[in-house]
Amino acid sequence: MAAPLVQIQPSAASPAEPARKPSWLKVKAPGGPNYVALKHLMRDLKLHTVCEEAHCPNIGECWEHKAATFMILGDVCTRNCAYCAVAHGTPAPLDTGEPQRLADAVAQMGLQHVVITSVDRDDLPNGGAEVFAACIAELRLRLPQTSVEVLIPDFKGNPEALSITISRPSPGCIASRGPVGDIHAHWSCSTVPCK
pLDDT of residue 10: 72
Helices H, strands E: what count in the chain?
6, 6
The predicted model scores a pTM of 0.79
Nearest in space to 118 (alpha carbons), one of 177, 182, 158: 177
Question: Phi/psi zone of residue 106: left (φ > 0), alpha (ψ -120 to 50 degrees), beta?
Answer: alpha
Question: Phi/psi zone of residue 103: left (φ > 0), alpha (ψ -120 to 50 degrees), beta?
Answer: alpha
Per-residue pLDDT of the chain (195 residues; tens, 9 = 90+): 677 777 777 766 656 677 788 877 776 777 889 999 999 999 999 999 999 999 998 899 899 999 999 999 999 999 999 999 999 999 999 999 999 999 999 999 999 999 999 999 999 999 999 999 999 999 999 999 999 999 999 999 999 999 999 887 878 887 777 656 544 433 444 444 444
pLDDT of residue 103: 98
